[in-house]
């Protein structure tokens, strides 16, 4: 099996529940500002702005200036690549767990056979 390349910065960014909620809000609304997002989150506007900066740095959101505010939107292509990466990691772990299960079952069968022979 080919090892899955993991973007640690990306998964660190989406590992935060507030940032995941922000992505959900942006996806449902299309765009949003730090002020608008802070109205739906239990954090300040300044905290939202910092979270948006993290998401922007990893390419999950992009901002368009509109007067004094920035309007953020999710980068659909980057999000799709992130989802595909997560699916690849999940598939790799599923494969590992199946191998571990087969090994454990083989050991159990041997032990059962040895116990029956006594």
| pLDDT tens per residue, range 17-72 | 999 999 999 999 999 999 999 999 999 999 999 999 999 999 999 999 989 999 99
Q: What's the mean pLDDT when you consider all of the chain?
A: 91
Please, which pLDDT band fits residue 4 given cuts at 50, 70 and 90?
A: low
117 phi and psi angles, rounded to 5 deg? -80, -10
- Greater confidence (104 vs 84) lies with 104
The pairing of strands 61-66 and 69-74 is: antiparallel
- Greater confidence (97 vs 114) lies with 97
DSSP 101: H
Domain 8-116 class, CATH top level: mainly alpha
Give residue limits of the domains in the chain. Answer: 8-116
Mutual angle of helices 45-57 and 17-29, in 10-degree steps: 80
Q: How far is 56 from 50, CA to CA, in rounded Å?
A: 10
Least confident of 43-47, 83-87, 113-117: 113-117
Give the pLDDT mean for 3-8. Answer: 71
Quote the pLDDT of residue 107: 95
Quote the pLDDT of residue 1: 55
Quote the pLDDT of residue 116: 78
The pTM score is 0.74
């Amino acid at each position: 099996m080919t090892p899955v390349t993991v973007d640690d910065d990306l998964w660190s960014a989406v590992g935060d529940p507030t940032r995941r909620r922000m992505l959900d809000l942006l996806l449902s609304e299309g765009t949003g500002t730090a002020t608008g997002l802070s109205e739906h989150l239990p954090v300040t506007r300044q905290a939202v702005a910092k979270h948006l900066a993290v998401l922007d740095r990893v390419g999950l959101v992009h901002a368009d200036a509109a007067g004094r505010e920035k309007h953020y939107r999710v980068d659909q292509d980057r999000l799709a690549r992130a989802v595909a990466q997560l699916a690849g990691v999940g598939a790799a772990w599923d494969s590992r767990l199946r191998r571990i299960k087969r090994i454990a079952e083989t050991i159990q069968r041997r032990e059962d056979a040895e116990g029956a022979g006594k």
